[in-house]
Amino acid sequence: MAGNKDFDLYRTSEFHEELRDAVRAVCEARIAPHAADVDENARYPQEAHDALIETDFFAPHVGEEYGGVGADALATCIVIEEVARVCGSSSLIPAVNKLGSMPLILGGDEDLKKKYLTPLAKGEAGFSYGLSEAHAGSDTAAMKTKARLDGDHYVLNGQKSWITNAGVSEFYTVLAVTDPDGPRGRNISAFIVEKSDEGFTFGEKEKKMGIKGSPTRELLFDNVRIPADRMIGEPGTGLQLALRTLDHTRVTIGAQAVGIAQGALEFATNYVKERQAFGKRIADFQALQFMLADMAMKVETARQMVYVAAAKSEREDDDLGFYGAAAKCYASDIAMEVTTDAVQLLGGYGYTSDFPVERMMRDAKITQIYEGTNQIQRLVMARSVLAR
């Protein structure tokens, strides 16, 4: 059957490819040179922070009405992917700014949005996300942090664990139980907590395998009084808002995973083209060519899954839950495979910190764990399939 000759094959737009070129230039010049030092010294990537602010890539998802650039979901993924290609820690700056502010974007009133999205767009404040607790990771409805209404304020007590960029961000979306006797999962509300709020402190930095430049700390709440108008949405809707947020932001973790894998693939490819063994380039050995072919195939498959999920995020399609989980799950599994293979291709050199692939392998691991472990992603996908 003859096809439509006017049909344009699926591809990213000229705008998206120009954006990729612009972000890559910033990354190569101002982020990549510091990536190894950031990892070695487990220090916050301030150089990346500053560069992302100056180029409007700090929180590109924020709408123009709040002073942002209003990047669509795919554009935001491309920014995160390109930063992750050179530094996984730095890619968490735009990724977590979206994660932390997404509940506000989805459920906040206009006054709250203007108050908190405007400084985020300007790069004056970062935004983190407080959902997990020490004994309530995947089982988020079991959280114990409470917010008690006291006049026109809420008083928060409890803790949150594994909070990315904690201590650096100025703003935090925090989920807390507001009705202890209410139905499970429908007794939780979302609030915005400011770093300067009295009684709000941070635990010590976690000592991690990877993404060492992004501080991960506990949030500690000791009778933290916040105005009642800092609640996002209606009482009792916090967990639903949190889960809707993850449908969107799992796509960005998929983008991060793709970027890390792409960086490892490129480095390993360049290495095998230069490395000599048995009188010729090791790139000329078929066994290694097959490894590279499989790595490239998997990275590109993951990228296409992430881009399709990003389009669904932008449209808020009904099946976003499945596609967001699938993109995050597949891309992160592939990132782990590809970075491990990159280490293998470099042999003994790959196991040393003189080359970046071992850092990329360590950074890739967390993408299989945060914003829902890949076991949880498979549960999400299975439930979607069974509901059809």
Catalytic machinery residues? 371
CA 127 to chain centre: 12
State how far the Cα of 326 lies from the Cα of 186, in Å rounded to an integer: 26
State how far the Cα of 75 lies from the Cα of 18, in Å rounded to an integer: 10
Nearest CA to 273 out of 290, 295, 258, 288 is that of 288
Helix axes 374-386, 320-345, angle to 10 degrees: 140
CA 371 to chain centre: 8
Which phi and psi angles does 53 have, rounded to 5°? -65, -50
**Sequential DSSP letters for 106-120:** HH--HHHHHHHHHHH
Q: Note whether 192 and 17 are within 8 A (CB).
A: no
- Tokens representing 1 are 């059957």
Give the ranges where the chain is alpha helix by DSSP (H): 14-26, 35-40, 46-54, 73-86, 88-107, 110-122, 238-274, 286-315, 320-345, 357-366, 374-386
